[in-house]
């Protein structure tokens, strides 16, 4: 036998002895003392294996902990995901509600602006109309003041012109912006007659002279009687007589004293507008009268009212 083969024999025996050592898995029960048959290398390998088993156990324990943590985190993640989805749904609902409110607010704002604009235009129109009316009112007040001035001047002129007649024959006064010249029947007429007497014509002439110089004065002649009934072959009643007397005076003013007929009106009032009580002779005498009512022409005021 060769020498090299003799040297390999102990190694082979050692390998055979090592290969006969028991194999332990991680977690198996091992002898307390290492068998004397184990070689140093085998012992080292067994120690490394035991260390690896311990490390594996620690890793498995750690892995188990990580799995538990992962499960908890997964549950928490799922819970948060579900809450997130709920919040997302609520957010979308709130966003939609917000958008609806914005649209509604914009619509209301637009309606408000339109209503405000309409009210503003209406107010401007009313202010313009008010300004125009104030201007027209000022013009009317100015016209009325001018006519009042004319009335007062006419009243003064007539009073001075008719000073020659007694107060029980005629009177001159201003009533409601008009000049009333009241002539008694004893100045103008005989009882039951519509023919104007001479002194009455003199009074009418004085009056006509003033009126011809004031062409902007309208003239209304009103006949009045007392309430004592009258019925003659000429006049059926007091009303008929009052109309005839007013007409007689109008004819004298227009035909004899040349007052423009378009300025003058005749009216019979009969017994229905007394100045005094008809129960006394004095009262009946005051009621038997002819009133010549003088007023400034109203065309200018009527035009202002029409405008």
pTM of the model: 0.57
- Could you tell me if residue 177 is left (phi over 0), alpha (psi between -120 and 50 degrees) or otherwise beta? left
**Mean pLDDT estimate for the chain:** 84
Could you tell me if 211 and 217 are in contact, meaning their C-beta atoms sit under 8 angstroms apart?
A: yes
What torsion do the CA atoms of 120, 124, 130, 132 make, to the nearest 10 degrees?
A: -170
**Is residue 17 very low, low, confident or very high in pLDDT (cuts 50, 70, 90)?**
very low
Q: Which residues pair with 179 in a beta bridge?
A: 174, 294
pLDDT score, position 209 = 95
Q: CATH 3.30.1330.60: does it fit domain 144-306?
A: yes
Could you tell me if 223 and 302 are in contact, meaning their C-beta atoms sit under 8 angstroms apart?
A: no
Number of Cβ within a 10 Å radius of residue 184: 21
How far is Cα 222 from Cα 46, in angstroms, rounded to an integer?
A: 156
**Is residue 4 very low, low, confident or very high in pLDDT (cuts 50, 70, 90)?**
very low
- Residues of each domain in the chain carrying CATH 3.30.1330.60: 144-306
**Bridge pairing between strands 217-224 and 289-296:** antiparallel
Among 13-17, 19-23, 48-52, 225-229, which stretch is predicted with the lowest mean pLDDT? Answer: 13-17
pLDDT score, position 215 = 87
Supply the DSSP string of 168-183, one letter for each residue: TTEEEEEETTEEEEEE
Average pLDDT over residues 66-72: 87
């Amino acid at each position: 036998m060769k020498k090299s083969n003799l040297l390999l024999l102990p190694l082979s025996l050692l390998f055979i002895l090592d290969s006969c050592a028991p194999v332990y898995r991680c977690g198996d029960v091992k002898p307390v003392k290492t068998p004397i048959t184990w070689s140093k290398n085998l012992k080292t390998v067994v120690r490394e294996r035991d260390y690896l088993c311990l490390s594996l156990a620690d890793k498995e324990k750690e892995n188990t902990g990580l799995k538990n943590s992962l499960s908890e985190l997964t549950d928490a993640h799922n819970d948060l995901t579900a809450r997130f989805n709920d919040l997302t749904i609520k957010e979308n609902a709130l966003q939609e509600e917000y958008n609806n409110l914005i649209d509604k607010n914009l619509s209301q704002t637009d309606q408000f602006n339109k209503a405000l604009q309409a009210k503003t235009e209406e107010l401007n129109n009313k202010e313009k109309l008010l300004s125009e009316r104030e201007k027209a009112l000022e013009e009317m007040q100015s016209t009325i003041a001018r006519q009042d001035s004319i009335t007062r001047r006419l009243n003064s002129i007539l009073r001075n012109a008719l000073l020659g007649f007694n107060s029980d024959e005629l009177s001159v006064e201003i009533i409601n912006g008009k000049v009333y010249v009241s002539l008694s029947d004893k100045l103008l007429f005989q009882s039951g007659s519509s023919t104007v007497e001479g002194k009455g014509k003199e009074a009418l002439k004085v009056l006509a002279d003033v009126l011809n110089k004031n062409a902007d004065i309208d003239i209304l002649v009103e006949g009045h009687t007392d309430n004592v009934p009258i019925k003659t072959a000429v006049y059926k009643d007091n009303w008929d007589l009052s109309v005839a007397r007013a007409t007689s005076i109008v004819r004298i003013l227009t035909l004899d004293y040349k007052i423009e007929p378009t300025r003058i009106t005749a009216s019979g009032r009969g017994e229905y507008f007394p100045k005094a009580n008809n129960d006394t002779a004095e009262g009946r005498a005051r009621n038997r009268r002819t009133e010549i009512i003088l007023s400034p022409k109203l065309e200018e005021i009527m035009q202002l009212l029409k405008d």
